[in-house]
Amino acid sequence: MKFAGWKRWAGVTTVILVAATGVWATTRYTAWGRAATWERQASPGDLSAAHAFLGDNCAACHTPGKGATADKCAACHADSPVLRREPTAFHATVGSCRECHPEHQGVAARPTAMDHAALARIGLGTPTGTGTGSRNDPARERLRRWLAEGGDGPHPGMSRLEAALDCAACHATKDRHQGLFGKDCAVCHRTEKWAIPEFRHPSAQSTDCAQCHQAPPSHYMMHFQMVSAKVAGQPHAAVRQCFVCHQTTAWNDIKGVGWFKHH
C-alpha cells in the first residue's frame, strides 16, 4: 500500500510539473509574441534597403529613453571611408546623425537628407540642437548672440543659421572656381542646390574668360601646344585666351571642330 501511494504521489507531481511547464512556456512565448507585435506596431515604417537587416532589432540603433543615438551608428560605421575622406571627415566628431540621416522612410528611400540648419544647430549647441552643445568658446558665443538678434540672413535665400556654417570647410575639394572667388560660397550659392538660377553667362563675344575660369593643368604643359592648340586649329593661341578655341556652350565645344574631348 505504501508503494502504491508513492506511485500515486509521483504521478500527481509529474502532472503538476508538466502543467506548470506548459503554462510557463505558453506565458513566455506569448510575452515574446506580444513584444514582437508591440515592436511592429511601434515602428513608424520600414527601414531603408541598407538597414533592412536590422528591421527586427530595434536595440541596434535605439537607446531606451533617447531614441537613435550616434554611438550606435558609430559602432557599425567606424570603418566607413566617409570618416576618412576630407569632405566628409566631420562625421567623426559631429555627435549626432539622425538629423540628416532619417530612417523608417521605406525600403526605397535613401537615408540621407542633408539639413544645413540642423548641422549648424548641432555645432553651435543651440537649444534645439543635439550632440555638441557642451562645447563653449568665444566664437560660438558670438555666433549665438548674432543668431539671437533675428532678422534675415546676410545673403538672399539663406537663413542666419545656415550662414553660420563655414561652407569652404566641407566643400573646398569641390570648388570648381579654384579659389578665384574666395571662400564665401554663400555669396552666390544656396544650401538646397549648387545651381544658380539667376546666373547668366556673359556674351559669347566676351574675351575676359580668365576672370572666372582657370585652365586645366594640361594647358600649362607641352600637351597644350602639341595637342589642344593643334586640334582647335589655333597653334599660336595663348593659354589665357580661352575665347580663341572654346565656345560658351561647353568647354568641350571647340570652335570650328564641335564636341571634342581628349583629356
* Pairing state between β 253-254 and 258-259: antiparallel
**158-169 average pLDDT score:** 82
Question: What phi and psi, each to the nearest 5 degrees, are found at residue 161?
Answer: -65, -45
Average pLDDT, the chain: 77
Q: Is 71 helix (H, G, I), strand (E, B) or coil?
A: helix
* Sequence spans of domains, the chain: 52-187, 209-259
133 confidence band (pLDDT: 50, 70, 90): very low
What's the pLDDT score for residue 201?
A: 79
Nearest to 114 by CA among 139, 144, 94: 94
Q: Is 102 helix (H, G, I), strand (E, B) or coil?
A: coil
Q: How many CA atoms lie within 13 A of 150 on its CB side?
A: 0
β-bridge partners, 253: 259
**83-104 average pLDDT score:** 84
Q: Tens digit of pLDDT for each residue in 5-14? A: 545 545 545 5
Q: Residue 19: is it exposed, middle or buried by C-beta count within 10 angstroms (0-12/13-18/19+)?
A: exposed
52 confidence band (pLDDT: 50, 70, 90): very high
Q: Tens digit of pLDDT for each residue in 175-207? A: 877 777 888 888 888 888 888 877 887 887 888
**216-227 average pLDDT score:** 87
Please provide the DSSP assignment of 118-185 as one string. Answer: HHHHHHHT-TT--SSTT---HHHHHHHHHHHT-S--SSTT--HHHHTS-HHHHHGGG-TTTTTT-S-G
pTM of the model: 0.55
Helix axes 116-124, 138-148, angle to 10 degrees: 130
CB 167 within 8 Å of CB 185: yes
